[in-house]
């Protein structure tokens, strides 16, 4: 990769100078960036981002853009000094690039945004600033504290807790802020919390004033600790709270008892592992996050094209001649239709053929391709589909099943026994992703995983294969603090066959029902 510094120095000055956009990333939840900020990210050529800016925001950045991690202030090997960061911005802008400088929270609130812009101004580099939701308001909001309230306070101050308050030359006027302002919010105040609290009390603030400390506010791993000026430092220490965290001091903290909405969501503080393919995980992930869960996406299956398209192509050539075409998974639908289109055909190719699907999600996907399923079984399993078809009468009928290269045979066998002529063709194959087996094991043992979700038998087998634990007792031990959620009986059976218990299973086998069952599990 060419060094942009060299480019800037060696080449003649480009026709246009680039522009630097100093963008506030918001406090942690990636959805809290501004619309303007997201638009700029989607047009960026270079993004220089901080430790506090959610890495999830990088998904808005074009693939070709260069990403530069500016790191965590004050530490770490892979970080840049402020001077280096300034230079990076200058060099890329002079090389004519569109640069987004992405900073946690709001760039002008304890973010050194001003310093970076001064340097750009000295080089006559054009810039714009996009404000962000600062972590102080986010921490208060997500801890259930209105930062101001008519009944409690009419002023608020944002203060750096970074300065050692015992220093004689402190620039913070403790006497005035302690009694002159209602709500006090300290950024970077965890290390100095004992002396911050002492100073405020000494300067006249009531020792009983309520305080909340909020770590990683607005994210699924948010933690908060409540106390008073007198005991908050001890409580924070006992709870092992480390930065980044904010300290909110004032009577408004009392309101938390009534309006602590974020931390009261049903799955708040629960870590849920999703083992579905990346393509299919999003519905499950969104629904779990909606309930407050901290979701770990660890795909145990990757979908690839079949070894050969020939069997499908032959079937497509006579698609209208089948009596039934059956889709037993979302993947079957999602891999069948692109190939149909590639062959220059569309939904009309089905002719008079009836279409059966395994469940509501498959039916929904089919609808996306302009087709309504003729048959959705009452029970969303292959057995359920087989029973419905046999009930409708399949003797002498020709049936096509586009499906995974390796799949269960129950549907085929039941239909053949009932006198149907069944043809199965592969439209995709499941492969096991490799490379993060160790990470998976580590997460289960060293970090806490409250639930692991399985949405098919192959997710179970692949997951266990990746854990590679031959001793069944050790496997049980490895998963002893993790509840196992299976979408339906077949998946559940595969779990049990491997010597594990199923803790959660919904009565109807859909993703929303699975999430509801997980919520119920933790409510009881």
Cβ–Cβ < 8 Å for 329, 455: no
Minimum Å distance from CB 358 to ligand SAH? 42
Beta bridge partners of 355: 325
Residue 356 interacts with ligand SAH (CB under 6 A): yes or no: no
- SS3 label, residue 504: strand
How far apart, in whole angstroms, are the C-alpha atoms of residue 9 and residue 12? 8
Residue 220 interacts with ligand SAH (CB under 6 A): yes or no: no
Q: Which of 60, 89, 106, 271 binds ligand SAH (CB under 6 A)?
A: 106
Closest CA to 482 of 469, 465, 500, 462: 500
Nearer to ligand SAH, 174 or 216 (CB): 216
- The answer to whether residue 234 is catalytic is no
End-to-end Cα spacing for the chain: 55
Minimum Å distance from CB 186 to ligand SAH? 7
Residue 109 interacts with ligand SAH (CB under 6 A): yes or no: yes
- The answer to whether residue 50 is catalytic is yes
Residue 488 interacts with ligand SAH (CB under 6 A): yes or no: no
Q: 2: which residues sit within 8 A by CB, 6+ positions away?
A: none
Nearer to ligand SAH, 49 or 110 (CB): 110
Spell 433-465 as b/e; 16+ CB within 10 A means b: eeeeeeebeebbeeeebbbbbbbbbbbbbbbbe
Residue 104 interacts with ligand SAH (CB under 6 A): yes or no: yes
Q: Which of 21, 174, 216, 324 binds ligand SAH (CB under 6 A)?
A: 216
Residue 70 interacts with ligand SAH (CB under 6 A): yes or no: no
Cβ–Cβ < 8 Å for 411, 326: yes
- The answer to whether residue 397 is catalytic is no
Q: Which of 187, 324, 327, 463 binds ligand SAH (CB under 6 A)?
A: 187
- Strands, DSSP E only, in 13-73? 19-24, 46-50, 66-71
* Residue among 72, 254, 345, 379 flagged as catalytic: 72
* Residue among 91, 103, 188, 505 flagged as catalytic: 188
Convert residues 226-255 into a mask of x (bound to ligand SAH by CB under 6 A) and - (unbound).
-----------------xxxx---------
Q: Which of 21, 110, 337, 454 binds ligand SAH (CB under 6 A)?
A: 110
Distances (CA, A) of 4 to 10, 13, 96, 166: 10, 13, 11, 44
Distances (CA, A) of 492 to 37, 111, 485, 499: 44, 50, 8, 11
Select from 61-69, 84-92, 134-142, 224-232 the region that touches ligand SAH (CB under 6 A).
134-142
Cα angle: 164, vertex 167, 172; to 5 degrees: 70
Residue 217 interacts with ligand SAH (CB under 6 A): yes or no: yes
Spell 50-67 as b/e; 16+ CB within 10 A means b: bebbbeebbebbeeebee
Nearer to ligand SAH, 56 or 345 (CB): 56
- Point out which residues bind ligand SAH (CB under 6 A): 27-28, 52, 103-106, 109-111, 134-135, 139, 187-188, 214-218, 243-246
Q: Which residues are catalytic?
A: 50, 72, 188
């Amino acid at each position: 990769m060419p060094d942009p510094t060299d480019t800037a120095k060696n080449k003649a000055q480009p026709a246009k100078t680039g522009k630097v956009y100093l963008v506030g990333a918001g406090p942690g939840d990636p959805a809290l960036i501004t619309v303007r900020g997201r638009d700029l990210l989607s047009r960026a050529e270079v993004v220089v981002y901080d430790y506090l800016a959610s890495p999830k925001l990088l998904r808005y950045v074009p693939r070709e853009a260069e990403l530069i991690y500016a790191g965590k202030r004050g530490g770490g090997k892979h970080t840049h000094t402020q001077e280096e960061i300034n230079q990076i911005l200058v060099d890329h802008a002079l090389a004519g690039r569109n640069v987004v400088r992405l900073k946690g929270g709001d760039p002008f609130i304890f973010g050194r945004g001003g310093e970076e812009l001064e340097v750009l101004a000295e080089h006559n580099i054009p810039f714009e600033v996009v404000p962000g939701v600062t972590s102080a308001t986010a921490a208060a909001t997500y801890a259930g504290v209105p930062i101001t309230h008519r009944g409690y306070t009419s002023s608020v101050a944002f203060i750096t807790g970074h300065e050692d308050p015992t220093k004689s030359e402190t620039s913070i006027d403790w006497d005035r802020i302690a009694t002159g302002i209602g709500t006090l919010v300290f950024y970077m105040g965890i290390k100095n919390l004992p002396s911050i609290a002492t100073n405020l009390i000494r300067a006249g603030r009531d020792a009983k004033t309520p305080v909340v400390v909020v770590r990683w506010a607005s994210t699924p791993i948010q933690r908060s600790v409540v106390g008073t000026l007198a005991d908050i430092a001890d409580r924070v220490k006992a709870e092992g709270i480390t930065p980044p965290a904010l300290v909110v001091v004032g009577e408004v903290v009392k309101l938390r008892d009534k309006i602590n909405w974020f931390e009261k969501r049903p799955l708040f503080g629960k870590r849920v592992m999703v083992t579905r393919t990346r393509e299919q995980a999003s519905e499950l992930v969104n629904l779990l996050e909606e309930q407050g869960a901290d979701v770990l996406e660890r795909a145990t299956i990757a979908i690839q094209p079949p070894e050969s398209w020939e069997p499908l192509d032959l079937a497509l050539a006579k698609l209208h001649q089948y009596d039934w075409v059956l889709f037993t998974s979302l993947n079957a639908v999602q891999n069948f239709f692109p190939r149909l289109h590639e062959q220059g055909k569309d939904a009309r190719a089905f002719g008079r053929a009836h279409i059966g699907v395994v469940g509501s999600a498959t039916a929904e996907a089919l609808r996306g391709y302009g087709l309504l399923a003729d048959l959705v079984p009452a029970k969303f399993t292959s057995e359920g589909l087989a029973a419905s078809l046999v009930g409708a009468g399949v003797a002498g009928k020709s049936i096509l099943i586009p499906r995974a290269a390796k799949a269960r045979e129950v549907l085929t066998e039941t239909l053949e026994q009932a006198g149907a002529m069944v043809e199965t063709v592969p439209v995709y194959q499941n492969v096991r992703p490799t490379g993060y087996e160790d990470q998976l094991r580590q997460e289960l043992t060293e970090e806490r995983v409250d639930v692991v979700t399985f949405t098919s038998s192959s997710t179970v087998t692949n997951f266990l294969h990746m854990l590679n634990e031959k001793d069944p007792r050790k496997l049980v031990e490895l998963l002893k603090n993790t509840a196992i959620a299976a979408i339906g009986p077949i998946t559940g059976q595969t779990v049990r066959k491997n010597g594990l218990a199923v803790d959660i299973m919904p009565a109807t086998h859909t993703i929303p029902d699975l999430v509801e069952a997980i919520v119920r599990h933790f409510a009881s």
